[in-house]
Structure 1
Amino acid sequence: MHIAKVFEDDGAQTVRLPKDFRFEATEVRIRRHGAAMILEPLSQNWAWLTPLIGSVDADFEAAAVEQPTEQDH
């Protein structure tokens, strides 16, 4: 079993991962599963979706990453 250290810094919590558990990503998704917290690297492309629904076209990718413009109220 591997153990990681947990640190508190300015109200944020940091977990120092052992070398064998480091991510190659710059961001991770976090979710709870019962008492466990699961960290998963965020994909930088849509390759993960292909096994689930098949390939996506350029229009789908563009719509999915498009950021809405700010509206005046």
Structure 2
Amino acid sequence: MIEIRKADHRGRANHGWLQSRHTFSFGSYRDANQQGFSDLLVINDDRVAAAQGFGTHGHRDMEIFSYVLEG
């Protein structure tokens, strides 16, 4: 069954330059009822401040899909 999870019901992280909403358990956000969906483990809505971004970091055995909404 598909469950709609609105942004204000998802996990949050505020790193100053990065505002993130976590659909599934991720980082320090833990929700026993939201542990991913089959092989899909992470859906994050990340808002990155202008002229900022992620440094080099590894993701072993993962596919990553990113898209830009504006900016």
Give the TM-score range, shorter chain.
under 0.3
Q: Considering fraction of residues, name the structure with more strand.
A: 1
Decide which structure has greater helix share: 1
Q: Which has the larger radius of gyration?
A: 1
TM value normalised by structure 1: 0.23
